[in-house]
Chain A
Amino acid sequence: MIVVDYGRGNLFSLKQALLHVGGAPKISSDPADLATADKIVFPGVGAFGDAMEGLRAAGLVGPLKDAIARGTPLLGICVGCQLLLSLGEEFETHQGLDVIPGRVALLPRGNDPQRSDRIPNVGWRRIRVNAADPILGTLDAEDYVYFVHSFAPYADPDFVAAWLDYNGQEVPVAVRRESVLGVQFHPEKSGDAGLRLLEAFRKL
């Protein structure tokens, strides 16, 4: 299992969480490792454009797309999830990996400055998942997962796998296309619920 390192993410915690669920993660920025990986975890923090730039600078755009085309199971986390989409609209419009059609856009604003959900969205939230999804299906309705973000992956509806109720709107927070899953929240920071999800990915 390869954890993609392109200088944008809290890799230590992610690695510890994967070890904790019995995985053998290797943190790597080597395109050759992506070619032979049996699973790929694709993390990321920060801004969409900057993260995409980091990925390009590391020479990983092609190798990542190749691995996805081969059907290697991939778990994108936070900005790693966002980069799977076609476009990002943070600061200005940026091209993404375009693995999943859609765009990354700001969360919906509410109209009550005191009581509306605020941006950024920071904290533990319950989400609604596609229960048929082999990974997301491990989450119960009672579970909370941890978010820290201002932008969300608005994939085409066919590819949305989980939703968060935010300021009265159903906002996509996970995307799925074949063996690729992207989650906007942080499973490595979501206590037991997150560990369960990572374990399901590890066992694929």
Chain B
Amino acid sequence: MHPIRLISRLDIKGPNVIKGIHLEGLRVVGKPGDLARAYYKDGIDEILYMDTVASLYGRSSIFGVIEETARDVFVPITIGGGIRTVDDFKQALRCGADKVAVNTAAVKRPEFIRETAAAFGSQCVVLSIEAKRHAPGQWEALCDNGRETTGKDVLAWVQEAVSLGAGEIILTSVDMEGTKKGFDMDLITRVRELVEVPVIACGGAGKAEHISAAFLNGNVDAVACASMFHYKLATVSELKSSLHDSGVPVRLS
């Protein structure tokens, strides 16, 4: 069995990393470069930056953050938030990002996925989904960091996006996000069954058991954690050794 990828999610607002609950009620938790370096030194497998205001104001200021991080953090870096054009993609990759997460731009024009996959390869194109549960087995994809409804059904959207060339899915449960009460396992399991590309579970991780469940029962490839690390519920290395002890394969460095 290949090891689960443990991703640190850093939500960016201007020069700061912020964290909220249900993508709202934000507070500052630190500087992006400092946190990314600390998590890297402690063994994180990947860094995910989400620019939380870029969609609102149209222009992303996150490229400088990526460039600073990529100077001494030698694990994959994904950037999302406010990426709208092929040029945005190009700039993100030039600054040291390996993958780019798209949500709003892809919802508005799904062909954007096909165009960017053709230009940069599917491995670069990550579909970010913010799923809001409406009924058992039914979720709506939100965009603009949970602020806008789209009318799109998550399970249909994920299949459409993969057929267009999305190479990976970041699946955030808006309902569980920031609660530390565990992932939306039903959501994870349903999406996992529908697509072959890697699925990253995001939103709700509060302890090692949540991650074990997502991996062993939900069969996800990766999990993204924010609160757990930002609020020091566990360090990266502590979390990895708990996972290892409970039979979840992890990269120990």
Residues of chain B within 8 A (CB-CB) of A117 are 2
Closest B residue to A166 using CB positions: B2
Q: 20 A-B pairs, CB-CB below 8 angstroms?
A: A11-B94, A12-B95, A12-B96, A13-B70, A13-B74, A13-B96, A17-B74, A45-B124, A122-B198, A123-B198, A123-B222, A124-B5, A125-B2, A144-B3, A148-B98, A149-B123, A189-B75, A191-B74, A192-B74, A192-B253
Smallest distance from the beta carbon of A203 to chain B beta carbons, Å?
A: 18
| Beyond A13-B96, A115-B219, 16 additional pairs, beta carbon < 8 A | A10-B98, A12-B70, A12-B95, A13-B74, A20-B72, A45-B120, A45-B123, A46-B121, A118-B197, A120-B123, A122-B168, A123-B3, A123-B45, A125-B2, A190-B74, A192-B253
The 10 A-B pairs of least Cβ separation, nearest first, read A46-B121, A12-B96, A144-B251, A124-B251, A148-B123, A122-B198, A13-B96, A189-B76, A13-B70, A123-B5
Would you give the shortest CB distance from B198 to chain A, in whole angstroms? Answer: 5
Tell me the chain A residues, 90-135 only, with Cβ under 8 Å from chain B.
113-115, 117-120, 122-125
Q: Does B67 contact A (CB under 8 A)?
A: yes
Asked if B123 and A122 make an inter-chain contact with CB atoms under 8 angstroms apart, the answer reads: yes
A118 to B94, CA, bound (A): 28
Known: A123-B2, A144-B3. A189 touches B74 (CB 8 A): yes
- Nearest residue in A to B70 (C-beta to C-beta)? A13
Chain A interface size, as a band, is: 35 or more
B122 at the interface (CB under 8 A from A): yes
A46-B120, A144-B251, A189-B76 known; A113+B196 contact, CB < 8 A: yes
Q: How many B residues face the partner with a CB closer than 8 A? A: 37
Q: Which residue in chain A gives the minimum CB-CB distance to B98?
A: A10
Interface string of B173-205 (1 = CB under 8 A from A): 000000000000000000011001110000000
CA gap between A10 and B76 in the complex, in Å: 11
Nearest residue, chain B, Cβ from A19: B71
Which A residues touch B3, using CB under 8 A? Answer: 123-124, 144
Alpha-carbon gap, A180 to B104, bound state (A): 44
Known contacts A45-B123, A118-B197, A122-B123; A12/B168 CB under 8 A: no
In whole angstroms, how far apart are the Cα atoms of A118 and B193 in the complex? 12
Tell me the chain B residues, 87-146 only, with Cβ under 8 Å from chain A: 93-98, 120-124
- Number of A-B pairs, beta carbon distance below 8 Å: 96
A-chain residues with CB within 8 Å of residue B93 when the two chains form the complex: 10
Chain B residues in 8 Å Cβ range of A120 = 122-123, 167, 197-198
Residues of B within 8 A of A11 (CB): 94
Set of chain B residues within 8 Å of A193, measured between Cβ atoms? 253
Q: Which residue of A lies closest to B121 (CB)?
A: A46
Q: How far is the CB of B97 from chain A (nearest CB, A)?
A: 8
Contact of A200 with B by CB under 8 A: no
Closest to A117 in B: B2
Q: Mark B214-240, 1 if CB is under 8 A from A, else 0.
A: 000001011000000000000000000
B76–A148 CB distance below 8 A: yes
Nearest A-chain residue to B44, judged by Cβ: A191
Contact residues in A for B96 (Cβ distance below 8 Å) = 10, 12-13, 16
Contact with A along B240-253 (1 / 0, CB 8 A): 00000000000111
B168 partner residues in chain A, CB cutoff 8 A: 122
Nearest neighbor of B119 in chain A, beta-carbon distance: A46
B193 close to A114 (CB less than 8 A) = yes
